[in-house]
Structure 1
Amino acid sequence: MPNDYFKFKQFLVKQDKCAMKVCTDSCILGAYTPVTQAATILDIGTGTGLLALMAAQRSPAQITAIEIDAAAATQAQENINSSPWADRINVYQQSLQEFSATNQQLFNLIICNPPFYAASHLSPDQARNVAMHSQELSLSEIVRFCRRFLSATGKLFILLPPTESRNFASLAQAENLHLISALHIFTFTRGKHIRTIQGFGREQITPVPEENLFIRNINNTYTTAFQELLRDYYLIF
């Protein structure tokens, strides 16, 4: 059983009301995404509020966080209220579709750790299904939303498994959102490729910079690259 909270250097994330707990790959997304130049940030599917909080620690931006699940949205609000950045983060308990229907703001940065599993992987836990499975929010809906609401120089950073990341890149390209960076995440050196973080923008970059991040060494210690990436957040580094 995971702990009902996760303590970072500058904030605490309670997670007992959320189907999706704090996980390493989401922390990597929060630490890797470039936020310092963004004045407006949107966190799609905020869950515990983790990514919004990580962004707020490194950025003076005004941050909007949306979450479809009522219990998770309540917990995200609690976590943000107890953080140093409560005045800069607004939580809305809405689906992306509902938010899209009323939103009039453009965002310099959109960050997303979306649901991605197919219906064949459904579990008995409905809240976890909403958090993990794409029947409530498809990748194509995310692409269409970003096409409308990214600013002219805005960027999208999204975390997906390898196969889904390739599918997403094709969908984005069809909407003139171009791949600008890719970070491939591996469990160990010479281990399994588990996730890819992709950056997208309206301008094409050739060649697209790509790199690998290995979380642990063969001896199970954290790699230097992982430690450096998470140093501002993890208490153990």
Structure 2
Amino acid sequence: MKVCTDACLLGAYADVANQQAAPRLLDIGTGTGLLALMAAQRNPTARIDAVEIDTDAARQATENAEASPFSDRITIWHTPVQQFNTAPASYDRILTNPPFYTNHLRSPDAAVNRALHTDDLPFGDLLTAVDRLLHRQGQWWVLLPPYEMDQLTQQAVRFGLTPFQRLQVQHHANKPFFRHITGFSFTSQPGTDSTLAIYETDGRTYTATFRSLLQDFYLIF
């Protein structure tokens, strides 16, 4: 799957700066390995596992991780997260850019369907995995459209996971929000909601806030 702007925003915005030595991070549905690589760049001591169900995507993520300066800290696992298990199974941070389409038209490409539709990873399975794998003092960061984020949040409460921080993303100030990045935890944490416009109202010029957030990752800045 191609790298998209909103996934880059998740990788740049999510709190991966756990202060303990060698924190453990998990990227569920890593695709190209983007979030795992961004987390490794942002946290120089983190040990990162990245799970991917699709064979070709897992192969590409492995190639990308091995070609990076962080190859000794990233491990790609070709497996459904429902079957993923490590010892100890406790992560300080989990990052997820999950599939979210449920009743939309399908692509003739099976890999595209797997990446975009919830058949292989419904929210119930995702929450069960996070409940099993996230440290009770850890954080789970998720990227979804607003409606799907509301649906996920309602289900998350049943697992004891509550949102503590949210970034609402819009193309520009005159457009509606099209993505939410939300941090969940098992414990009550202080946090605030904020907004981010990718472009100025001309639809072409990146905003200063977007440039500041992505400047360590975008070569054009």
What corresponds to 1:22 in structure 2?
Answer: 3
What is the CA distance between 1:104 and its match in structure 2? 4.1
Q: Find the residue that maps to 2:82 and give its secondary structure.
A: helix
CA distance in 1, matches of 2:186, 2:108: 40
- 1:135 equivalent to 2:151? Answer no
What corresponds to 1:173 in structure 2?
Answer: 157
CA distance in 2, matches of 1:176, 1:36: 23
Q: Pick one of 50, 61, 64 that aligns with 2:49.
A: 64
What corresponds to 1:48 in structure 2?
Answer: 32
What corresponds to 2:172 in structure 1?
Answer: 188
- 1:235 equivalent to 2:219? Answer yes
Quote the sequence identity (%).
Answer: 42
CA distance in 2, matches of 1:165, 1:50: 21
CA distance in 2, matches of 1:31, 1:205: 20
CA distance in 1, matches of 2:179, 2:105: 18
Q: Flag structure 1 segments of 5+ consecutive residues without an equivalent.
A: 1-19
TM-score for the superposition, normalised by structure 2: 0.94
CA distance in 2, matches of 1:120, 1:199: 27
What is the CA distance between 1:174 and its match in structure 2? 1.3
Deviating more after overlay: 189-198 vs 45-54: 189-198
RMSD after superposition: 1.3
Q: Find the residue that maps to 2:205 and give its secondary structure.
A: coil
What corresponds to 1:34 in structure 2?
Answer: 15
Encode CA deviations 1:161-212: one digit per residue, 9 max, x unaligned.
0000001111111111111101011011121311100100011246x51011
What corresponds to 1:161 in structure 2?
Answer: 145
What corresponds to 2:199 in structure 1?
Answer: 216
Q: Flag structure 2 segments of 5+ consecutive residues without an equivalent.
A: none
Runs (4+) of structure 1 exceeding 4 A deviation are none
What corresponds to 1:9 in structure 2?
Answer: none
